[in-house]
Structure 1
Amino acid sequence: IGESSASVSLAQLIQTADLTQVNASEEDKIKAVMIQSCLQYDPINYMKKLPESYTCFHCGQPGPHIRNCPTVGDRNFEPVPRIKESTGIPRSFLTEVEDPSTKGAMVTQTGTCAIPVINAEAYGKGKKEKPPFLPEEPSSCSSDDPVPEELLCPICKEIMTDAAVIPCCGNSYCDECIRTALLESEARTCLTCHQTDVSPDALVANRFLRQ
């Protein structure tokens, strides 16, 4: 745009590429430059255009995006149920159904309705819940089964707790049982081999029995 006697409006300045050749005030030129520098970042340049076949997911009618749907926020309006597509699921994993309202139904590429095989089996079995306060079933293992002797402490005759090995003879006891027995003995005598001066600090954890 060449120089002219009439001053150019701000709207015309924004559309002008070379502002140095325009008859306008410096303030208007600066405003035009600032606006031009922001035009490429306008959100309209990044908004995806809706296809002509677009249908609103809320009301099921062709037209504006769901954000602009007039039925959004209307408590008396019941949204149209949306059927998912079976994209990514192999056909061998699907079972066709006639009723689109079937629970878990999806639309296939051929336009038919189907549900995953694993879902069909789950829906067929149904969810089983135990009623509350039902007495527990007895355990399959009997409490009368004998406990192996190698798991019993020679002192308390119970299943060893925190099994520990005494270094003199290699026998295992409950850590608390053998430690107490050594501390109560004046000569620190082993109960099995009767060796004296056995320190409680010399006890070694028997990790195999503990496991």
Structure 2
Amino acid sequence: MSSWVLFRFKSARDATRITFDGTGITVFELKRDIILKNQLGDGKDFDLRIFDAGTNEEYNDDTAIVPRASSVIGQRVPTTRPGYGKAARYVSGRVPVQSRRNERPSASSASNPNDFAAMNNAKTEEEKMALIAGGGGQWQKQQEAMSLAKRVAFQKPGGAPRPGGSEGGPPPQGYICYRCQQKGHYIRDCPTNGDPNFVPKPQLKKTTGIPRSFLEKIDKNEILEEDENGKPKGYMVDGEGNRVRVKTDTATWEKEQARQKASAAKKEAAEEADKELKERGLECDLDQRMFEVPTKTSCCQKTYCYNCIDEALVNNDLVCPNCGTENVLIDDLLPDNEMALKIKAYREEKAAQAK
């Protein structure tokens, strides 16, 4: 399985992975891979410096070993003389034989500069295999050193360490274990780890954007109702890590029910009124409403609203909508006084009933 080192320039926000085989990579090889992967050219116009992202200490020894899963920051420095950039030797592949400094633990404990020189001078495959076999003791020393290393909290480039991550302290307020959906511990410290019969619970949705006054807490031991997909139905987790659900808004519900009942009653009353108009013969056949300025046609004496019959004759080439008579002139329309009296009596009746 390939190992990797996270790298980014100081001015960049996202880091890229430099992959390699083994438990570490030399500073020389790391700089060469950085130049090639970022297509920085032949390296004659700049010098490349890399720093540890956690301690900000510079890797100025090309034979030093950068452990895998490390995070480094790079910086390109202009050269004082154009065409004489020190980064060119990383592109050409001239590996240094002597170490410049041995203060870094990774350089002294993980590698020997003479090993690189011997490997470069080996001509046959047998010689290289012999060198690799002879490095078994050095591999054991490196494994022992890594086993005694202090645990370091995960930290994004430029970010702060996670609270309680390095010393195993309590998680921050509101943290929910992704395995058992309980607060108070990280998933790595979940008491259900190692339990073959435990089934991880589905992750709860957060209450982002919902006012606290709309929520109510529920008992952590309450069995969560699940939908057909196995996800919690109507349950969420707030910013403090408590399981909550949305309150039933009784007042709004009753108000909505009253509004719907009033609307239904109003609609029913309107239907009854339309039915009564139709039974009394006070409804116009064109707009299905009570006559407004009742007017009769001269051909068949059919009563309509004045505006309705006027528009109907204009749009249908003066053809009567009832009997089909042609050339019915608007000037020949007659007022229906009898229907007007009926409408007046109907309105007076309804006004009396409303009192």
TM-score scaled by length of structure 1:
0.38
Determine which structure has the larger strand proportion and give its number: 2
TM-score scaled to structure 2, two decimals?
0.26
